[in-house]
Amino acid sequence: MAAAVLVANGESAAVKTPSTGRLAAVYSEVQNSRLDHPLPLPSVLKNSFKIVDGPPSSAAGNPDEIAKLFPCVFGQPSANLVPGDSIDNSSGRGLKIGVVLSGGQAPGGHNVISGIFDYLQDRCKGSTLYGFRGGPAGIMKCKYVVLTPEYIYPYRNQISLSVEADRSCIIPFQFKQAEETAVKLDLDGLVVIGGDDSNTNACLLAENFRSKNLKTSVIGCPKTIDGDLKCKEVPTSFGFDTACKIVFLGKTAIRDSIPKEIRYFHFGSSILPISWVSPFREIYAEMIGNVMVDARSTGKYYHFVRLMGRAASHITLECALQTHPNITLIGEEVAAKKLTLKNVTDYIADVICKRAELGFNYGVILIPEGLIDFIPEVQQLIAELNEILAHEVVDEAGVWKQKLSPQCLELFDFLPPAIQDQLMLERDPHGNVQVAKIETEKMLIQMVETELEVRKQVSAYKGQFKGQSHFFGYEGRCGLPSNFDSTYCYALGYTAGALLQSGKTGLISSVGNLAAPVAEWTVGGTALTSLMDVERRHGKFKPVIKKAMVELEGGKISMLTRSISLYILYRKGAPFKKFASLREEWALKNRYLNPGPIQFVGPASDNVNHTLLLELGAQV
C-alpha cells in the first residue's frame, strides 16, 4: 500500500518509507534531505507540563451575539501550557483522533500532522490518528486513512498536499454527517487545520458536538497562506486571554524591549498572524530579486510584478520589505486614500519621470493581486457593467455606454481597450465580471504608457518606457517549507495533541514568542469564539473570523500577562511604517536586495520573516 496522506484525489504518493523501503523514492535530493531535518520542540513540550487556564474570554466583536451562537463553548478561557504534571493519562487509554487539512495548500501542513502524531506516540500510547481524505468532505463521507509512521514519515518537512480552496470545502460542515463519523470512529478529538473559514467551522463543530453531549473535542490550527487570519478588536480588559491570543498570533514578547512603565490597557486593534506565508514570500522574493538584477543590468525595462494575495496585501508588503522595489502598491492604502486608477497611474508615472531625470529608465513595481478590488470607482464600474450586461443589448456602436453613469463612463473610456474587452467578455457563471482574471499588471503598463506619452508631448518626460509584466502565482504556493515553518507547524500540531488530551475543545492551537529561540516558544490554546465577530447575512447573524488587512497606522502596544509573567510587545503597523519610511528612497535610488533561494542549511536558513520581526520590534 502506498503512502498517501490527505491527498485530494485519493491518489497515492510513492515515497521512501523508513521501515519497509518498499516504495520507489520519487523525491529529489533536496526533498530527501529534508525528511530527516530535526524538528526541535519548545522546552515546555519536552518535559511534563500542565495546562493553566486564563480568565474567561469574550469575542472580537458583538460578544452577545457570539454568546448566543455558541452557548456551549463561548467564553472559554485560553489554555497555557506550563511546566508541571497534571495531564491525566493514568487511564492508559489511547485516544482516537481525526485530522483534516482544509482549504488551500500551505507549506508545513503535514508537519502539523506529524506533530499531532508524535504527541500521541510520545504521550498517549495506544492512540489512533485518522487522516481524513479530500478535505472536510472526508469527514462527512467518513473517508480516511489510519496514519502510521510509514505514512507520516515521507511528508515530514515536505510540501503540504491539501485540497483546493474550493468554497465547497469550507462552507459549513454537514453536522449530521460529521456526527455520524465522530460516533462511528469513536473520536475523542478532531483537529482542523485551516484558515479563517475553516476555524470558524471548527468552532461550530465543537459547539455542535458539545451540545449533543458527544465526547469529540475539536481543536483548530491556524493556516493562512496570505497572512489574513484576523482577530478583530478585543474589547475586554487586558488579561491572560488576550495575551494568549497574541501568542497564538505570533506577536509575543521581546523581553529586552519591555518599556519601563508597564501599563495595562485595552488591546483595541486587529493583529495579524504572519506565519505560514514564508515559502510564498521567499519564492516570490527570490524571483523578484532576480527580476531586479535583470532590470538593473538590462537598464531598459519596467517590470510590473503582480503577486498573489487578493484580499489583503501582506505578501506584497513582505516582498517589498525583503527586496526594496521602486514602487509598491498596497491595496489597503489605495482604499484608505480613496485613490482612483488615474491617481495610481499618475503616482507610477511620477516616479518614472523622476527616475528618468536621474538616468534610470528601468525599475521594479509590485502590485497586489487584489489591487482593483481596493479602488472604489472600479467596483462601481463593475457593478454597473454587470447590471447592463444582464439586461441590455451591447451594440458595436457603443450606444449601451449611455447607460453608464458619467463617472463610470469616464473611467471606462480611460481604460485600455484590452481591459475594456476583458470587462465586457469575461463572465463567471452568474454573469459577473471576473475581476480576478483582469491582468492588472498589463492594464497598468498600458495606462502608464499612455500617461507618459501625454507627458512626452509637453516635454515633462524624456525617457524611454518599456513595460514587462509578470504574475507570480501558483509557482509559489507549494514550495518546501522553510526551517522556521517546519518547526512552527510541528509545534502547533504537538500542542493540538496536548490540548485534546486534556479534553479542551473550541480552542485554536497557539504557539508564540516566535522571535526567541525555539526552546523559549510559548504554547497553548485560544478560545476560537474570542477571535469572532458576526456578520449579518440573509437576515441572520453569522460568526466570522475576519480577514486581517495590512495595518496602515502605527502604535506600540505592550502588556504584561500576569499568569505566565510574559511581557508582550506588539508594534501595530510597524511593517507598513517601515515600508512607508523607506519607499521614497527606494523609488529613486536603487536599493534592490536579492534574497536568493531558500536555504535549509547554513546562512539565512533559520530566518523569520520581516513582517513578524518588525511587529515584534526587531530591527531588520
Return the number of the residue (28 or 405) whose C-beta is nearest a copy of itself: 28
Return the number of the residue (54 or 103) whose C-beta is nearest a copy of itself: 103
Instruction: Please state the φ and ψ torsions of residue 500, each to the nearest 5 degrees.
Output: -65, -40
Return the number of the residue (31 or 380) whose C-beta is nearest a copy of itself: 31
> Which amino acid belongs to residue 75?
G
Return the number of the residue (134 or 220) whose C-beta is nearest a copy of itself: 134
- Out of 1, 9, 126, 454, name the contact with a copy of itself by CB under 8 A: 9
Q: Do 326 and 363 form a contact (C-beta atoms < 8 A)?
A: yes
Return the number of the residue (292 or 435) whose C-beta is nearest a copy of itself: 292
> Which amino acid belongs to residue 504?
K
Least separation in angstroms between CB 302 and a copy of itself: 12
- Out of 200, 590, 609, 611, name the contact with a copy of itself by CB under 8 A: 590
DSSP-derived 3-state class of residue 130:
strand
Grid coordinates in use for 119? Answer: 504527541
For residue 183, CA distances in Å to 93, 139, 186, 275, 541 come to 18, 11, 5, 34, 29
Query: Catalytic residue among 226, 228, 373, 533, which?
Result: 226
- Out of 2, 16, 23, 27, name the contact with a copy of itself by CB under 8 A: 27
Beta bridge partners of 567: 560
Least separation in angstroms between CB 368 and a copy of itself: 18
> Is 369 annotated among the ligand-binding residues?
yes
Write the CB contacts of 446 (distance below 8 Å, at least 6 apart in sequence): 416, 418, 419, 467
- Out of 1, 18, 30, 399, name the contact with a copy of itself by CB under 8 A: 30
Q: Is residue 211 a contact residue for a copy of itself (CB under 8 A)?
A: no
Least separation in angstroms between CB 312 and a copy of itself: 21
Q: Is residue 596 a contact residue for a copy of itself (CB under 8 A)?
A: yes
Least separation in angstroms between CB 155 and a copy of itself: 12
The answer to whether 226 is a known catalytic residue is yes
- C-alpha–C-alpha distance, residues 188 and 215, integer Å: 6
> Is 241 annotated among the ligand-binding residues?
no
Least separation in angstroms between CB 479 and a copy of itself: 5
CA angle 470, 473, 479 (to 5 degrees): 125
Q: Is residue 277 a contact residue for a copy of itself (CB under 8 A)?
A: no
Q: Is residue 298 a contact residue for a copy of itself (CB under 8 A)?
A: yes
DSSP 305-345: EEES-SS--HHHHHHHHHH--SEE--HHHHHHTT--HHHHH
Q: Is residue 16 a contact residue for a copy of itself (CB under 8 A)?
A: no
Q: Is residue 48 a contact residue for a copy of itself (CB under 8 A)?
A: no
DSSP-derived 3-state class of residue 65:
helix
Binding segment (CB under 8 A) for a copy of itself, from list 115-123, 170-178, 346-354, 597-605? 597-605
- Out of 16, 296, 456, 562, name the contact with a copy of itself by CB under 8 A: 296
Instruction: Please state the φ and ψ torsions of residue 93, each to the nearest 5 degrees.
Output: -80, 130
> Is 94 annotated among the ligand-binding residues?
no
Q: What would you measure as the largest C-alpha separation in the chain, in angstroms?
A: 85
- Out of 16, 23, 31, 40, name the contact with a copy of itself by CB under 8 A: 31
Write the CB contacts of 85 (distance below 8 Å, at least 6 apart in sequence): 48, 49, 50
- C-alpha–C-alpha distance, residues 364 and 68, integer Å: 50
Least separation in angstroms between CB 417 and a copy of itself: 10
> Which of 508, 467, 255, 250 shows the shortest CA–CA distance to 361?
467
Q: Is residue 8 a contact residue for a copy of itself (CB under 8 A)?
A: yes
- C-alpha–C-alpha distance, residues 311 and 417, integer Å: 26
- C-alpha–C-alpha distance, residues 128 and 506, integer Å: 21
Q: Is residue 91 a contact residue for a copy of itself (CB under 8 A)?
A: no
Q: Is residue 593 a contact residue for a copy of itself (CB under 8 A)?
A: yes
> Is 475 annotated among the ligand-binding residues?
yes
Q: State the residue for C-alpha cell 473517508.
A: 143
Torsion (CA) 344, 347, 348, 351 in degrees, nearest 10: -170
Binding segment (CB under 8 A) for a copy of itself, from list 9-17, 178-186, 325-333, 566-574? 9-17
> Which of 524, 606, 521, 565 shows the shortest CA–CA distance to 43?
521
Per-residue binding string, a copy of itself, 152-181, x by CB under 8 A, is -------xxxxxx-----------------
Return the number of the residue (337 or 466) whose C-beta is nearest a copy of itself: 466
Q: Is residue 138 a contact residue for a copy of itself (CB under 8 A)?
A: no
Write the CB contacts of 480 (distance below 8 Å, at least 6 apart in sequence): 30, 31, 34, 107, 157, 158, 159, 279, 598, 600
> Which amino acid belongs to residue 309?
G
Instruction: Please state the φ and ψ torsions of residue 517, each to the nearest 5 degrees.
Output: -60, 155
- C-alpha–C-alpha distance, residues 234 and 47, integer Å: 33
- Out of 74, 132, 304, 472, name the contact with a copy of itself by CB under 8 A: 472
For residue 257, CA distances in Å to 51, 116, 249, 341 come to 28, 34, 19, 42
Q: Is residue 395 a contact residue for a copy of itself (CB under 8 A)?
A: no
- C-alpha–C-alpha distance, residues 293 and 593, integer Å: 9
> Is 477 annotated among the ligand-binding residues?
yes
User: Of 351-380, which residues contact a copy of itself (CB under 8 A)?
Assistant: 359-360, 362
> Which amino acid belongs to residue 584?
E
> Which amino acid belongs to residue 618?
A
For residue 307, CA distances in Å to 316, 437, 441, 474, 475 come to 6, 13, 10, 10, 11
* 276: Cα separation from own chain's centroid: 6
- Out of 493, 525, 595, 617, name the contact with a copy of itself by CB under 8 A: 595
Q: Is residue 439 a contact residue for a copy of itself (CB under 8 A)?
A: no
> Is 474 annotated among the ligand-binding residues?
yes
Number of residues that bind a copy of itself (CB under 8 A): 68
- Out of 16, 23, 32, 342, name the contact with a copy of itself by CB under 8 A: 32
Least separation in angstroms between CB 12 and a copy of itself: 9
Least separation in angstroms between CB 272 and a copy of itself: 24
> Which of 149, 235, 141 shows the shortest CA–CA distance to 181?
141
Would strands 522-527 and 79-83 be described as parallel, antiparallel, or unpaired?
antiparallel
Binding segment (CB under 8 A) for a copy of itself, from list 55-63, 193-201, 263-271, 598-606? 598-606
> Is 140 annotated among the ligand-binding residues?
no
> Is 85 annotated among the ligand-binding residues?
no
DSSP-derived 3-state class of residue 90:
coil
Binding segment (CB under 8 A) for a copy of itself, from list 8-16, 347-355, 451-459, 539-547? 8-16
Q: Where along the sequence are the contacts to a copy of itself (CB under 8 A)?
A: 7-9, 11, 13, 26-34, 105, 159-164, 283, 286-294, 296-300, 303, 322, 359-360, 362, 468, 470, 472-480, 590-604, 607
Annotated binding site: 104, 196, 224-226, 300-301, 308-310, 369, 474-477
Binding residues for substrate are 224-226, 300-301, 308-310, 369, 474-477
The residues that are catalytic are 226
